[in-house]
Homo-oligomer: A and B are copies of this chain.
């Protein structure tokens, strides 16, 4: 089958570009130095590609992601980098603790209570290092670790996410800010103990040499999006939502890739050689740049999403193709939902 034969909208992964990204990252952060974030693709087949390059420890955002990875037999060490207090989901994780190493992020006595009641054995103290989201005040991190130990839990270390620094453009400034944030995390780590100091993301992946960080939680690097694409990182766009042109007018054309097929929180997607006017539920309206031939009804267009994580979560299937457009595999996006 060829990409031109797929029913559209079709999420298409270029396997060579994906592998190029995975190899670039593995060369900088080999093995356990990278804990790939599953939330960026929600696809166990893609995670298996990451595992084949030597990464066996994964970051997950939801219990379902961890359970699905274990079911698929991909990875053997999971960090739930998210606060969960739902007893049923925590119990489901506790039930598979003998199948894989599972550590759950905690940032309060309440999250510790929930983890303890469910029988979770290992925790990581999630420390706020600047992004106003989860993560405890660094000053109480040691107290939380003590509380975990009193409850009989193993404290595996600390994590933090300096998400507010991913998009800083000046590299020297970014490095300075990341080191400042990681300084806070390292100080918390002294109070907490444990082997893990987990942080970072695609936008900062190469800024941790010489810091306390033992592993980086990057995810977007594998498939990329136009938002991260503007940062000059050594990763290339490897996923598109392929659409069919269904209408052509003198000033615009319309393809069947709409906002139900695209994560829109970072704005409109991009079509090379064209200007995107706007997205509707099932459509993108766009116009060719000067010099780009006018599209014809039936043409395929490759729409690059502005934000890869939610885009993946909207599709049932990733079609895996080579540079000639030959479809080599169908990967279920099997970790969707909650």
The reply to whether A246 and B9 form a contact with Cβ atoms under 8 Å apart is no
Given the interface pairs A7-B88, A297-B108, the reply to whether A260 lies near B132 with Cβ below 8 Å is no
Between A and B, 15 residue pairs with Cβ closer than 8 Å are A7-B86, A39-B281, A61-B281, A61-B282, A85-B298, A108-B248, A111-B297, A132-B277, A133-B283, A137-B249, A259-B263, A259-B307, A260-B310, A263-B264, A264-B265
Complex Cα–Cα for A248 and B247 (A): 49
Q: Which residues of A contact B (CB under 8 A)?
A: 7-9, 39, 61-62, 82-86, 88-89, 107-108, 110-111, 128, 132-135, 137, 163, 244, 246-249, 251-252, 254, 256, 259-261, 263-265, 277, 279-283, 285, 297-298, 307, 309-310, 313-314, 316, 337-338
The reply to whether A247 and B108 form a contact with Cβ atoms under 8 Å apart is yes
The reply to whether A310 and B259 form a contact with Cβ atoms under 8 Å apart is yes
- A116 CB, nearest partner CB in chain B, Å: 15
Complex Cα–Cα for A313 and B7 (A): 18
**Given A62-B282, A133-B247, 11 more contacts at CB 8 Å?**
A61-B282, A83-B247, A85-B246, A86-B244, A134-B246, A134-B254, A134-B283, A259-B310, A260-B313, A263-B264, A264-B265
